[in-house]
Structure 1
Amino acid sequence: MKGPLFYSKILLFGEYGIIKDSKGLSIPYNFYNGALKVADVPTEASKNSNQNLRDFATFLGQLATGLVTFDLETLKKDIDAGMYFDSSIPQGYGVGSSGALVAAIYDKYAQDKITVLENLTREKLLKLKLIFSEMESFFHGKSSGLDPLNSYLSLPILINSKDNIEATGIPSQKTDGKGAVFLLDSGIIGETAPMVQIFMENMKQEGFRNMIKDQFIKHTDACVEDFLKGDFKSLFKNTKQLSKVVLHHFKPMIPKQFHDLWKQGIETNDYYLKLCGSGGGGYILGFTEDLEKAKQALKGHKLEVVYNF
């Protein structure tokens, strides 16, 4: 048995902001993926994953939601047969490892599921997002449901606000373009829950709340609009502002050894860094108008290109 592939995702813009109704833009990232499989010869990893699925199935059985029911009998039978989630998506890296798993389980075991082939109205998208947020809460405590949605649909998703999301198109890539969005590997595994906890604590302070509204959300929204319009000149201006705001106000989410690199990018304009997901480790997102320059400036670090301008 081998199920369909579900891809990782990258939230280009909107981390933390979407909790407070900023815009957001999430795109599938096909470099990593995962699928449900049954192991011929169980390995340590497949056994761990199988146990994880068993716990998840128990959780789904107790999920008192009127939105979705699962064929739990088949799910449990498959788990007993040794099913696991075979995934190349790194965990704790902000690229949606639990999202792909949630999407795969919904796809295979949800009854009366909403499929990618039907006309995806806003209502259906929101319903899916809600179902996924309840399912994914097993992994994170609190989830927006956006990662599984992105993985399930394999389409870019534009978040206008909490209850207004739509599948969208993004400008096609220029493979020979000098500019790029890239991932920088921090070499540390990030934990989502503690980072979100810090953010929620900070939100109790009026000064922080105002900064989120007047600076963070303003620049995030502008970045989303620039990217979708393909106005890359303006995009880099706004990304620089966003990078500054994050460096000043989200320090705990940036691994210490990257504080200087972050500052260096803003000062030299060779690249701008921002959080990829909740931060605290995992990947850091980079934006540059000149990839070769950025590679020079970030020598010794592994860069993975996500999108070319």
Structure 2
Amino acid sequence: MKGPLFYSKILLFGEYGIIKDSKGLSIPYNFYNGALKVSDNQTDEAKASNASLSRFVFYLEKLQQEQPELVQFEIEKLHHDVAEGMYFDSSIPQGYGVGSSGALVAAIYDKYAKDKITVLENLTREKLLKLKTIFGQMESFFHGKSSGLDPLNSYLSIPILINSKDNIEATGIPAQRATGHGAVFLLDSGIVGETAPMVNIFMENLKDKGFRAMLKNQFVKYTDLCVENFLGGDMKSLFANTKKLSKVVLNNFKPMIPEQFHGIWQHGIDTNDYYLKLCGSGGGGYILGFTEDLEKAQNALKDYKLEVVYQF
């Protein structure tokens, strides 16, 4: 048995900001994917995934008892399949900010939810919000607190525009140009990031008045502008605002940036060869890069592993 594929995602803009109602833009990233699978000869990874799924099922059982009107699952079938050795066969790196748990949540909802909202129906704002709420509750098992966006993106496999917490919509993004010099890329930090501790640091920082003011007047402001610039195809403004955003992140989110990357982060701002920003919660995993000249960025970052996500 092998289920349908669910893809990884990239939150281009909005990490941390969406907790405080900034705009956000999330796109599917088809390079990585995962599927539910049952097979007899299991690797250690498959066994670990199966054990994690087993705990997840008990969590989902409790969730549907506590919030029966939110979501119901075919729990007996789920218990049975996990007992048979079902696991999530995934190429999505864990702790890298590209939605490994989101894809798993989407796969479980797709296969076991009763009365599920499907991709084929007319996706009204209410349905999108209901899905996001369900996925947020499901994914909280892995992160402690989840917006539900990663699973939503993985489940629908379309770009999602977050206008605010209660206002999300499917959107189109400018077409890619394979010959374009500009690019969005992933930079591999070589370190696995843990979401929960990073979110805890952020929540702790929110108690500080100065940090809250910086978030509202700088971080959220530039995030919103970047989303508008990107969707509107205004690349000149996009890079100007991404540079400002990159500076704000370096100055105020240092714990989320692995120490050995502080220097190259600053170098990008100084030279304008590229601008870096967080991908997901940070602390490791991938770092997201934006450049107007891919060749320059590749030369400047030749000691690191780059993956091009989007060219324009």
Q: Which residue of 2 aligns with 1:20?
A: 20
TM-score normalised to the size of structure 1? 0.99
Q: Deviations over 1:50-70 (max 9, x none)?
A: 111110001100012221100
Q: Which residue of 1 aligns with 2:50?
A: 50
Q: Which residue of 1 aligns with 2:5?
A: 5
Distance apart, 1:43 and its partner CA: 1.4
CA–CA distance in structure 2, aligned partners of residues 195 and 50 of structure 1: 26
1:130 and 2:121 equivalent? no
CA–CA distance in structure 1, aligned partners of residues 53 and 216 of structure 2: 39
- Percent identity (aligned): 78
1:289 and 2:292 equivalent? yes
146-155 vs 36-45, greater mean Cα deviation = 36-45
Counterpart of 2:85 (choices 66, 82, 87) is 82
Distance apart, 1:253 and its partner CA: 0.4
CA–CA distance in structure 2, aligned partners of residues 19 and 169 of structure 1: 23
Q: Which residue of 1 aligns with 2:213?
A: 210
Q: RMSD across aligned C-alpha pairs, in angstroms?
A: 0.5
Whether contact under 8 Å (1:39, 1:46) holds in the other structure is: no
SS at match of 1:29: strand
Q: Which residue of 1 aligns with 2:34?
A: 34
Q: Structure 1: which 5+ runs fail to align?
A: none
Q: Deviations over 1:146-186 (max 9, x none)?
A: 00000000000000000000000000001100110000000
TM-score normalised to the size of structure 2? 0.98
Counterpart of 1:121 (choices 113, 119, 124) is 124
CA–CA distance in structure 2, aligned partners of residues 249 and 47 of structure 1: 40
Q: Given residue 115 of structure 1, which amino acid in structure 2 is its aligned partner? A: T
Q: Given residue 55 of structure 2, which amino acid in structure 1 is its aligned partner? A: D
Distance apart, 1:133 and its partner CA: 0.3
Q: Deviations over 1:109-168 (max 9, x none)?
A: 000000000000000000000000000000000000000000000000000000000000
Distance apart, 1:81 and its partner CA: 1.2
Q: Deviations over 1:21-74 (max 9, x none)?
A: 000000000000000000231111111111111100011000122211000111
Counterpart of 2:250 (choices 237, 242, 247) is 247
1:93 and 2:71 equivalent? no
1:192 and 2:201 equivalent? no
Counterpart of 2:143 (choices 140, 143, 147) is 140
Residues 150-165 of structure 1: pairs in structure 2 closer than 5 A: 150-165=153-168
Distance apart, 1:82 and its partner CA: 1.0
Distance apart, 1:300 and its partner CA: 1.0
| Superposition misfits of 4+ residues, deviation over 3 angstroms | none
Whether contact under 8 Å (1:185, 1:283) holds in the other structure is: yes
61-70 vs 280-289, greater mean Cα deviation = 61-70
